[in-house]
Chains A and B, each alone.
Chain A
Amino acid sequence: MALLPLSAFAQADPNAELVGAPDDFLAGADAAAGDLTLTAPEIAENGNTVPISVDAPGAVEVRVYALGNPTPGVATFRFGPLAGSQAASTRIRLAGTQDVQAIAKMADGSYQTAMKTVKVTIGGCGG
C-alpha cells in the first residue's frame, strides 16, 4: 500500500479509508466462524472477473480480502440503516489460485470470518 501515491486518495471521503489487510481490521481480535457466508466459485476460468457474494446477518461491516493478490484488500461493505439485508455481490480480480477471506464486524463488536479457496486458470493482475 505504501507504493500508492497519496494523491490517489486526496479526493476520497475521509471515511473511505483503505481496505487494508485482515490484521489491520481485526486489530488483535479473534474471528470465529459464524453466520457469515462467503460464496465464490471453486474454479474461476478467468481471474479478471470472479463473482463473489457475502451474506452476514447482523453485521455492520464486511471486508473481503484476496490473500494472494499483490495487495490483499478487495472491498469494504458498510451496511446503513436502510440495508435490506447484510448481503452484497460483486466481481473481483484474483492474481492466481488463492484463498479469499471475508471478515464481518458484527453489531456487538465481535468478528466472524469465512474463507474460500478459488482455483484460477488465468490470472487477473496483468500477468
Chain B
Amino acid sequence: MASGVKPRVKAPKKASAGEVVTIKTLISHKMESGQRKDSSGNVIPRSIINRFTCDFNGENVIDVVLAPAISTNPYFEFDATIPEAGDLKFTWYDDDGDVYEETKSVAVG
C-alpha cells in the first residue's frame, strides 16, 4: 500500500531561539489492522505505518511506535524545542518497507 499516502505537517515557519512550538502531523494511510475480514471471510492482511519519528537538525524530538490500534490517517500532535534555525524532519515507516519523509524549515528571529 503505497498509493495515496500523503504526509501533512503543520509547523511554524518562524520561532525564537529556545521556543517550544506545537507541531501537528497527519499522514493519509488506511492503517489496515489485520483484524478485519473481507466479504468472503478472508482476513485482510495487516498494512500499517509502524513507526513515526521527528528530528530537528539530527536531534530527536519524538519517536513513536504505532500498533494497529492507531486510527486511519495517523495524527500526532506534540511539542518541540527549537534551539536554532534548522530543519524539522518527519519520517514515517510503512509495513511494506516504504519510508515517507517530510521536511519543514524553521527560521529563528
Contact = CB atoms under 8 A, between A and B. Distances in A.
Interface of A: 4-5, 8-13, 15-19, 48-50, 53, 66, 69-71, 73-85, 87-94, 124-126
Contacts of B79: 83-85, 87
Given A77-B64, A83-B81, A94-B69, 9 more contacts: A16-B50, A80-B62, A81-B59, A82-B81, A84-B78, A87-B79, A88-B62, A89-B77, A91-B70
A76 B66 CA distance: 7
Nearest to B74: A90
9 contacts: A5-B46, A18-B65, A50-B71, A77-B63, A78-B63, A80-B61, A82-B59, A82-B60, A125-B35
Q: Interface extent on B, as a size class?
A: 35 or more
Contacts of A94: 69
Contacts, number: 138
The secondary-structure label for the interface of chain B is strand
B13 to A, nearest CB: 17
A17 B96 CA distance: 16
A10 B66 CA distance: 15
A126 B72 contact: no
